[in-house]
Each structure stands twice: as C-alpha cells, then as structure tokens.
Structure 1
C-alpha cells in the first residue's frame, strides 16, 4: 500500500505534537532539531521550513499552551458565586496539569532564550482577573477593595505552587487537593478582618500574654 503523504498543515501539527513531547521530556536545551526530525520521520530541513528552527517551534508551543491554560482559567472564574468561582478555577488548574501534563511542564520548567511570554506572564493576567472579582466581593462586604491585588497574588500563588507540587506527586486526587485549597482560600476570605494586624509578641525573656488576654485586647481594639 502506498503511504499517503501528509499535507503541510498535517505535517506542521505532527511536528508541534512531537516537539511538545520532546521539550517536556528533555527540556529546551536538551532538545535538538535532529531529534525532532528523527521522531517525525522527516529530514531536518522540513523542521526548518515550517518553524525556522527549534526556537520557532518552541515559541509556537508556548503560545498554544498559554492560550489554552489562560482560556481554561478565565472561563472558570467568569461566572458564579464567589465560592463557586474559587472552586472552579482551582479545579481548572489541576485538570490542566492532569490532562495536559507535557504542556504544563514546558510552561513552568523551561524558557527559551529571548522568550518573553511565559508562565509568569500568564499568572500576572490571572492575578489581575482575580483581583477584579475580589475587589467587587470586598466592596459588597463593606471592606476596602484596595488590598484585593495583594490577596489575588497570595491566592493565585498558592494555587500555582500547589499545582506544580502536584505535577510530580499526583497524590492525593485532584478533587482532594482542590477541596483543601478551597478550604484555605474560602475560610480565609470569609473570616477576613477589616484592618488585620500582626499578633504582638513580647520581647525575649518576658512572659507571653495569655491567649484569653490577647483575645480581649483584639476585641477591644475592634470595638474602639
């Protein structure tokens, strides 16, 4: 049987797929045009013809992964009650790690020389979106919306770092991980103080203030 030749579009998609797997496995520096061509069963000039080299192929893959992950996160956070949005965005992040592992590895572990768009850029975009909806939530509860960007950084960083940890562990299940993350996020937000302060600590060598005394002090300050 005569083997049907791929169209230009099909070949391009094949090279992207093979490049994605190879970059995830070996990293940018450890990947060569020769290996990508060999895995695809083509000559090196074919890779150069479509992408101009491994940098071009890598840039296309990064752009695709950025768009896919950003779309998943933004869709999750778009609508719903506050708790529902947090649950959906955490699950969206972990689902991406689970289903698009190679893409996530490339985003978080590698960056080609001169590559401007990366995981940090994506996270900044997510932070701004989270800050927007947190600001509205704060205003709804009569809280100052100005620190919303700070809380958005903290929440996004927590989810992002946990997702990277789970990338290797895969235990417990993503549902359990998501439930614990949401537990911390939501209960932290629902019990927010209007003007949080650090707990005063006595100088070394002096007796610490009993917990019930600290509580009374805090209550008096809030009532002042």
Structure 2
C-alpha cells in the first residue's frame, strides 16, 4: 500500500517489493501473482473505506444528515487515498482482479442502503420494492461523481457533498412525501464564497 501511495496506480511489483524491503521472489511466496497482490491491496483499501463510512451508515440520524454523512465519508476516503482508489478501481492492467473487490464493496454499501431505504419507505407506509434498485443506483452515482471530482477538483468536497445530498434528498423526500422537504435546507446553488 505504501508503494501504491508513492508510485501511483501503475506501481510495479518490483517497486512494491522494494517498498516492503524484500525481493520479488519473497513477495511471490505470499502472493501467487500480481492479480493476487492487487486483490489483497484492494480488500484492505476497501475495509478502510467501509470503516470510514460505517458510522454514517449505522447511526440513527435524520435522513438528510445520514445521506450527507455517507456521501462525505466516501468522498473523504477517496480524497485521502487517491492513489489506492485509482489502483483498485481503475488499474487497467489488473482490472478484473480489482473489480471483484470493487463489486463486493458496492454490494456491501448498497445492501446497507437498501435496508435503510426500505425501512424508511415502510415506516412512511410506502412500497419498499424499489429500495434495492435505488440503493445500487445511488452507490453508482456517488462513485461516478467521486471519480469525476477526484480527477478535476473543480469544487470543494463540501460543495460536492452538498450537491449530491441535495439531489439524493430531493428525490427521497419526493418519494417519502416529506413535508416542506428540500427547498429551505438543501439548495443546489453554493453559498457565496464557497466556490463551485
């Protein structure tokens, strides 16, 4: 992981071994090939990202605060570890090995969101049949927006969190029939001086 942070997503196995203070043959005693090594790094990076997001997913917060917390935790995670994120998600050399980890993390997050969304819909007396589809859609949207933002950095993390939260909350509030929902709380236009 240190080698990925230093050398980026295109890090070589030799650079990884050197970073660990060992030779490539010693490294290959622990990992069958580069794909196996990438999978191990991906799993560890995914665990770290899930640990950052878990509090917002598990806390009993108001829906809009929970959305903002999850979105911000995800964005903070990829902002703090951009090279690891790129190595796991966008490494074209070993895409399939990393893809397995990415899909697993997406599924974990989506399943937690589906439970939360389903519970909120049921408590509002609404049909919860769309909860899982919406959860996967939200995960994909936030990941895609996070990728875009990480590459361009055209706005602050706070602004992107607010924009995504507004989009998600405005949709959720409409479905849940939340009175007076988003207008006053979540506006899409940033406050003066915050960029965007």
TM-score calculated relative to the size of structure 2: 0.77
Query: Partners in 2 of 1:144 and 1:170 — Cα distance?
Result: 38
Residues 116-168 of structure 1, C-alpha deviations (whole Å, 9 max, x = no match)? 73212211111111010001111121211111112212222211110111110
Of 33-42 and 96-105, the range deviating more from structure 2: 33-42
Larger radius of gyration: 1
Q: What root-mean-square deviation, in Å, do the aligned CA atoms of Structure 1 and Structure 2 show?
A: 2.4
Paired positions, count: 174
Residues 9-40 of structure 1, C-alpha deviations (whole Å, 9 max, x = no match)? xxxxxxx4215544x331xxxx5433434556
Match of 1:98 in 2: 79
Query: Partners in 1 of 2:16 and 2:26 — Cα distance?
Result: 10
Query: Does residue 65 of the first structure (1) align with residue 49 of the second (2)?
Result: no
Query: Partners in 2 of 1:65 and 1:106 — Cα distance?
Result: 10
Please identify which structure carries the higher helix content: 2
2:4, 2:87 within 8 Å by CA — same for their partners in 1?
Answer: no
> Structure 1: any 5+ residue segments left out of the alignment?
1-15, 195-224
Match of 2:158 in 1: 175
Counterpart secondary structure, 2:9: helix
Quickly say closer, same or farther: Cα 1:122–1:129, change in 2 above 3 A: same
> Structure 2: any 5+ residue segments left out of the alignment?
178-196
Query: Partners in 2 of 1:38 and 1:165 — Cα distance?
Result: 32
Aligned mate of 1:165, from 148, 153, 156: 148
Query: Partners in 2 of 1:193 and 1:42 — Cα distance?
Result: 56
Query: Partners in 2 of 1:100 and 1:21 — Cα distance?
Result: 11
2:52, 2:73 within 8 Å by CA — same for their partners in 1?
Answer: yes
Query: Partners in 2 of 1:45 and 1:66 — Cα distance?
Result: 27
Counterpart secondary structure, 2:147: helix
Aligned mate of 1:136, from 119, 129, 137: 119
1:74, 1:126 within 8 Å by CA — same for their partners in 2?
Answer: no
TM-superposed CA distance for 1:170, in Å, is: 1.5
TM-score calculated relative to the size of structure 1: 0.68
Query: Partners in 2 of 1:123 and 1:99 — Cα distance?
Result: 19
2:72, 2:157 within 8 Å by CA — same for their partners in 1?
Answer: yes
Of 62-71 and 88-97, the range deviating more from structure 2: 62-71
